[in-house]
């Protein structure tokens, strides 16, 4: 896949993420955001990675505030001695951004 196709796919995945999240299909939203993160790794574009990290963090904050009963909210995950998948996604994006920044130096 060439770079332009990956960029287009990334943008489509973010649109799908927004649509799923707005429709309260949080599992779908998570998976589209994770797919977008995979695109950012192939693109090696730090701003995209940081955007995914921001979205994962914002979406988890919304879920925690409005839907703590959702199985992947911070509260629900902690009851099972786990972290939210959205938190894990944000952390993974952060690590990817650090790796890419190190490679740039």
29-50: pLDDT as tens digits:
999 999 999 999 999 999 999 9
pLDDT band at 28 (very low <50, low <70, confident <90, very high): very high
What DSSP designation does 73 have?
S
* Under 8 Å between Cβ of 92 and 33: no
pLDDT at res. 41: 92
Percentage with pLDDT > 90 across the chain: 84
Phi, psi dihedrals of residue 68, rounded to the nearest 5°: -65, -15
**pTM, entire model:** 0.93
> Helix, strand, or coil here: 19?
helix
């Amino acid at each position: 896949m060439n770079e332009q196709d990956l960029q287009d796919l990334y943008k489509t995945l973010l649109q799908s993420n927004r649509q799923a999240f707005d429709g309260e299909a949080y599992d779908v939203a998570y998976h589209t955001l994770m797919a977008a993160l995979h695109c950012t790794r192939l693109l090696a574009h730090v701003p995209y990675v940081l955007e995914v990290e921001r979205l994962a963090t914002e979406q988890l904050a919304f879920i925690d505030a409005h839907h703590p009963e959702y199985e992947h909210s911070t509260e629900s995950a902690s009851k099972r001695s786990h972290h939210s998948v959205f938190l894990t996604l944000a952390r993974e994006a952060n690590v990817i951004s650090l790796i890419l920044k190190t490679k740039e130096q």
